């Protein structure tokens, strides 16, 4: 709870700094675009967070996006599949990828880092191969679908509404069901969970399937949002941002810790930071530096909260640094 309260305060300070930075930051258009990005990339962070809670990791998420969005574009435009059928096929492909990861990690006892690192290379290469190194897109097709997904529901971006609905489902699953408690138990102490009679392999596989299925869902929205996909560069590095959002939101890479609200807050922070640097007139090439500093700060705060007086001194020092950075001048 301390970590959740801390990042909530940090998000509030960050948002206040954004509003004070420039008049353009206070416009409805800027808020709409921020909501779109939070809604879109929050899905990816939720997928990463669910897996991290069980002690797993997936470094191939960006490459899975490249593959599944490329397949979706080909099915819709070249194969003339109907949107519901093509989307269902892509979600199924994502689930199969997650199942493969889970089986390799659980039954062959391969390290998740190695399995998904190999996937990072394999899936992007496969996407480039099936696309023949060409950009795949929707062109002017499916205008109604684009208008709906890029539009709003009750004044909120459709992507953000979708993320909130998905978050409610995951809150019920992770925090209010026995199956979600199994996820946390596995991440906290896998051996103790096994001795308690929890089918470890089944739930670890389920975590990988959920992660890759949510990644495939993200790829559908990604293609509609950007209208095209370049297999060699699509979602490049987004797996690290997804993991970063989950970790910043309170998920421990050790496993067994994390919450859906925390992941949403972590995602919002990572979306607001580049927007704030833009309002300050800082070159976009510095965005990753700012994000990296924020993640490092989150890690320091996480460790400081575990300490006593020495940890609190570190925490106060970090807070002073960010306050000076956010409200400089």
Quote the pLDDT of residue 181.
94
Number of domains in the chain: 1
Here the tokens at position 295 are: 């993640």
Q: What is the spatial distance between Cα 158 and Cα 160, in angstroms, rounded to a whole number?
A: 5
CA 208, 260, 160 angle in degrees (round to 5)?
A: 100
CB 46 within 8 A of CB 162: no
How confident is the model at residue 74, as a pLDDT?
Answer: 96
H helical segments located in 227-308: 238-248, 260-279, 287-305
- Inter-residue contact 55 to 252 (CB < 8 Å): no
Question: Residue 10 maps to which CATH number?
Answer: 1.10.3470
pLDDT in tens, the chain (329 residues): 667 777 888 788 888 877 777 777 778 888 899 999 999 999 999 999 999 999 999 999 999 999 999 999 999 999 999 999 999 999 999 999 999 999 999 999 999 999 999 999 999 999 999 999 899 999 888 999 899 989 989 889 999 999 999 999 999 999 999 999 999 999 999 999 999 899 999 999 999 999 999 999 999 999 999 999 999 999 888 998 899 899 888 888 888 899 999 999 999 988 888 777 776 666 667 677 777 777 777 666 666 666 655 556 666 666 666 666 655 54
Which residues, in sequence order, are bridge partners of residue 157? 152
| Dist CA 102 CA 303 (whole Å) | 30
C-beta separation of 231 from 126 below 8 A: no
What does DSSP assign to residue 249?
T
Nearest to 42 by CA among 217, 236, 299: 217
Question: Which residues does residue 136 pair with via DSSP β-bridges, in sequence order?
Answer: 229
* CB distance 188 to 255 below 8 Å: yes
* Residue ranges making up the domain that contains 225: 2-326
Beta strands in 15-90 (DSSP E): none
**What's the rounded Cα separation, in Å, for the pair 151 and 116?**
34
> Which residues face 229 on adjacent strands?
136
Residues 96 and 108: their CA atoms lie apart, in Å, by 17
């Amino acid at each position: 709870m301390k970590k959740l309260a801390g990042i909530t305060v940090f998000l509030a300070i960050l948002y206040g700094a954004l509003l004070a930075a420039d008049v353009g930051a206070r416009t409805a258009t800027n808020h709409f675009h921020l909501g779109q990005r939070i809604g879109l990339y929050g899905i990816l962070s939720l997928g990463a967070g669910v897996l991290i809670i069980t002690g797993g990791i997936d470094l191939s998420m960006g490459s899975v996006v490249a593959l599944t969005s490329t397949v979706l574009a080909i099915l819709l435009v070249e194969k003339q599949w109907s949107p519901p059928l093509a989307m269902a096929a892509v979600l199924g492909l994502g689930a199969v990828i997650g199942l493969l990861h889970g089986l390799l990690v659980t039954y062959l006892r391969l390290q998740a880092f190695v399995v998904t690192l190999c996937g990072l290379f394999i899936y992007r290469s496969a996407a480039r191969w099936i696309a023949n190194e060409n950009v795949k897109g929707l062109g002017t097709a499916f205008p109604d679908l684009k208008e709906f997904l890029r539009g709003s529901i009750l004044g909120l971006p459709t992507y953000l509404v979708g993320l909130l609905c998905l978050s409610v489902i995951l809150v019920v699953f992770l925090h209010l069901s026995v199956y979600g408690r199994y996820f946390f138990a596995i991440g906290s102490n896998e051996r103790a969970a096994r001795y308690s009679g929890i089918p470890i392999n089944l739930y670890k596989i389920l975590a990988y399937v959920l992660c890759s299925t949510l990644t495939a869902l993200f790829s559908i929205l990604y293609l509609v949002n950007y209208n095209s996909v370049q297999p060699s560069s699509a979602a490049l590095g987004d797996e690290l941002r997804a993991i970063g959002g989950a970790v910043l939101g309170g998920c421990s890479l050790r496993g067994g810790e994390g919450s859906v609200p925390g992941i949403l807050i972590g995602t919002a922070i990572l979306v607001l930071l580049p927007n704030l640097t833009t309002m300050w007139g800082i070159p976009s090439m510095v965005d990753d530096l700012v994000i990296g500093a924020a993640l490092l700060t989150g890690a320091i705060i996480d460790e400081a909260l575990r300490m006593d007086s020495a940890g609190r001194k570190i925490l106060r020092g970090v807070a002073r640094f960010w306050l000076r950075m956010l409200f400089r001048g």
